Structure 1
């Protein structure tokens, strides 16, 4: 049974159109401003006809082929997710600042000061370590 333009669209239908719009934006067919305008209209759309209008001036995109390209490149690029790299960088910067303050306080006080930066670094570092070790598998399963 063909979908008529008056039939109500589902969230999954809207998500497919959003993916198509993202791909056209990545390929340079529409600008970010156009993408944002169309995306706003997309989530207000209720019928298949309204969804079709959003992509009527764009060529068809086979979204089934796009993930194959992305997954074939993924095993070649081993490494940490950019977000995880940023989290570790933030942790290292904060740890460095705290240890610098601790050293200055210890030198100026004339005696050994309790190593309080461990309380900043420790819990945060443990969470990051667990996320780094076990978080990669969760990301692969969801892909």
Structure 2
């Protein structure tokens, strides 16, 4: 069958897209465009787009569509006691208390007990744990 101007232009447009995407170098593009505009039949247009993605019918395509993986639910960080976040916060409190005790002991006087501020996350984590546990048992 005879190819029309719109058929030749369609092939040339697809070749231009391939050139812009870096799939063809300038020499390949020029050679194929010349063949496309010189084509008299659909047979003359065959082969000009076959090695370019998106130009092969889906039934013949070897590339499979991308399906993003489903996100995996990460478990919450849970300490050995089953309380999320309590163990690390309590460990930080103990470390700060040790530092406070050493500095107080070496200076010979008791300083303001600033590690109490580090207890705030421990208390919040415990309250969250127990309020969540109470909701589950209702």
Answer 1 or 2: which has greater helix percent.
1
Higher relative contact order (CA 8 A, sep 6+): 1
* TM-score, normalised relative to structure 1: 0.37
Larger Rg: 2
